Amino acid sequence: MTDRKPMTLPRLAQMHATGEKIAMLTCYDAAFASLLDEAGVDILLIGDSLGNVLQGRGSTAPVSLEDMVYHTFCVSRGHKWAWIIADLPFDSYHVSKEEAWKSSAALVKAGAHMVKLEGGGWTAETVRFLSERGIPVCVHLGFTPQTVNALGGFKVQGRDEAGAARMKRESQEAVEAGAAMLLYEMVPAALAAEITAASPVPVIGIGAGVGCSGQVLVLHDMLNITPGRKPRFVKDFMAGKDSVLAAVKGYVDEVKAGTFPVNEVHGF
Ligand code: KIV
């Protein structure tokens, strides 16, 4: 892959427009960043899932901005080509857009190309503030892990008419505010496919069906090293593979071919 060029926002937009699927995985350190890059992963997400995966906590809420800056720095030291997104942690963007700017700037300085925040509606003002000041933003809609308590647990979002209408409205508001990417978690496949088809920006899905512009999974889940029961949308890509590199390449191949996820198996 010597002629490979670093991933850019226009290239991701082009992939969405032409139906070329986008492969994304979470990543938290330099060693995996280098391996995932080599395997052809388009986007590395320094997810605040590191609270669960690396820190053994019960939720993403206790993850600090310092944690995110540290792991973003580690990933940026190992990567060459992939687009890098870093999560704004729970207590780093809710109080004011100025606070969101400071938090985002810290992540960009550590090596992020884009920041991700959770929720629709009230976040639009923040998305506009960051986008207008040159920080690309991804908006995470559907099931939002940082607000699991308010949502009443790990529940699929947008199932009924009112929920679907809300998803559509919040997606449009986010894009109008300048969001350059959307991410849907645990959303009915038909709804996610319908919104993606009309979306001017890429929509990455996790438990949102094969009709999204691309897919993301938590790295440790798809390598089957997360203890305990996995969500329905996870597939074990280590099964039948003799190396981590082969497992990640298998994931990239299946996402690109549109054979993962299978709506009836991994979707809602
Ligand atoms: O933090 C994370 O890993 C995420 C994924 C679930 C998309 O936001």
What CATH number is given to the structural domain containing 249?
3.20.20.60
> 17 CB contacts (<8 Å, ≥6 apart)?
none
- Give domain status of residue 34, yes or no: yes
In a domain, 3, yes or no: no
Residues 152-180: tens digit of each pLDDT: 999 999 999 999 999 999 999 999 999 99
Answer yes or no: is pLDDT of 72 > 90: yes
| Alpha-carbon gap, residue 50 to 63, rounded angstroms | 8
| C-alpha distances out from residue 209 to 7, 40, 67, Å | 24, 21, 31
Q: What is the mean pLDDT of residues 177-189?
A: 98
Q: Is the CB of 26 under 6 A from ligand 1?
A: yes
Average pLDDT over every residue of 199-210: 98
Tens digits of residue pLDDT in 212-229: 999 999 999 999 999 889
Helix (H) or strand (E) holding 181: strand 181-185
Predicted confidence at residue 55, as pLDDT, reads 97
Question: How would residue 237 be classed by pLDDT, with cut points 50, 70 and 90?
Answer: very high
Give the residue numbers annotated as catalytic, written as ranges. 185
C-alpha triplet 122, 125, 129: angle, nearest 5°:
150
Establish whether residue 118 lines the binding site of ligand 1, counting it when its CB lies within 6 angstroms of any ligand atom: no
Name the percent of the chain lying above pLDDT 70. 99
The response to whether residue 218 sits with its C-beta less than 6 Å from ligand 1 reads yes
Residue 85 is part of which domain span?
9-266
Q: What is the per-residue pLDDT for 144? A: 98
Q: Look at residue 3 in the predicted model and tell me its pLDDT.
A: 78
Cis peptide before 261 (omega within 30 of 0): yes
Whether residue 2 is contained in a domain is answered as no
Residue-level pLDDT at 2? 62
Q: Quote the number of domains for the chain.
A: 1
Which residues is 142 bridged to in the sheet?
A: 185
pLDDT at 1 over 70: no
The rounded distance, in Å, linking the Cα atoms of 266 and 268 is 7
pLDDT of 57 reads: 94
Residue positions in the annotated binding site for Mg(2+)?
48, 87, 118
Q: How far is the CA of 3 from the centre of ligand 1 (A)?
A: 30
Q: pTM of the prediction? A: 0.98
pLDDT value for 22 = 98
